[in-house]
Amino acid sequence: MSHAQPLCLMLAPGQVARDARDLRWSTLMAAAQEGDGAAYATLLAECLPFLRAICRARLRDAAEAEDAVQDALLTLHRVRHTYDPARPFRPWVAAIAERRALDRLRRRGRQVARETLLDDAAELGAEGEAEERLAACQLREAVGELPQAQRTALQLTKIEQLSLQEASARSGMSIGALKVATHRALHSLRRRLTGGAP
């Protein structure tokens, strides 16, 4: 919350503008709850700099911060029925963005801890680790050669381990298309890494 506060704590002239904007966002969100897609698109586009500011304050990596913004947008979409137009919009959306950014930060922390452990292990047994690295390198290369749709499907369903619904919402691919693309990706990788023709 502390990172979002400087954005909210503005001087008196800004206070009026902020209140007017919050009211506008609140009205747009109420319309979106009624199914007004145009109001929703306007609202999300106007909120985007605000969401980015929150996520970038938490996450130094720009790509990671943008992923957190996308997570926040998806969460906002899923829980849009919980917004009460009688209350300010900004704290509601800020809380969602904060939470998604913190999730990313925690995930990143765990990843770094794992990577550190692997680095320590490398010093103890470099030979075995080299083989692993080679295999990892080959795998990365093989994944890189997959068609874009298959790579996206693999990334979301197998690496990030999202549910099919979440992966579908994130990628815009249908669940059926995701299943087919994942299956094909795994099949290609298996053939390539076990020595068969690609």
Partner 1 sequence: MKTEEMITRLAEGLRPVRRMPSPPVMLALWTLLAASVIGLAALVFGTREGLDRPMTRFDMMHSLAALLTALLAGLAAFELALPDRDRRWAWLPLPAIGLWLGTMGVGCVGELVRLGAEGIRFHVSWPCLQFIIGLGLPMAGLMLWLTRHAAWIRPGPVAGFGALSAAAFASIGLTLVHPTFGPLMVLAWHGVAVLAVTGLAALFGPRLAWRVPA
Q: Check: CB of residue 108 under 8 Å from CB of residue 64.
A: yes
Distance CA(130)–CA(118), nearest Å, equals: 12
Report d(CA 184, CA 151) in Å as an integer. 10
By rule CB under 8 A, what string of x and - marks binding of each residue 143-182 to partner 1? --------------------x-x----xxx----------
Strand locations in 13-162 (E): none
Helices (H), 34-88: 37-58, 62-78
Examine residue 80 and tell whether it contacts partner 1 (CB under 8 A): yes
Pick the binder of partner 1 from 53, 88, 143, 151 (CB under 8 A): 88
Q: How far is the CB of 38 from partner 1 (least distance, A)?
A: 7
Residue from 4, 54, 57, 96 that binds partner 1 (CB under 8 A)?
96
Tokens of 137: 């390198």
Instruction: For residues 195 and 127, give the distance between their C-alpha atoms in angstroms, rounded to a whole number.
Output: 23
Residue 107 touches partner 1, criterion: CB under 8 A: no
Helix 126-144 vs helix 175-193: crossing angle, to nearest 10: 130
**Residue closer to partner 1 (CB basis): 57 or 73:** 73
Closest to partner 1 by CB, 74 or 177? 74
For partner 1, how many residues bind (rule: CB under 8 A)?
40
- Residue recorded with tokens 């990577």: 115
Among residues 152 and 192, whose Cβ is nearest to partner 1? 152
- Give the burial class of 136: count Cβ atoms within 10 A of its Cβ; 0-12 exposed, 13-18 middle, 19 or more buried: exposed
Residue 35 or 195 with smaller CB distance to partner 1: 35
Interface with partner 1, residue 38, by CB under 8 A: yes
Of 3, 21, 33, 164, which lies in the binding site for partner 1, with binding defined by CB under 8 A? 33
Residues that bind partner 1 (CB under 8 A): 32-38, 40-41, 44-45, 48, 66, 69-70, 73-75, 77-84, 87-88, 91-96, 99, 163, 165, 170-172
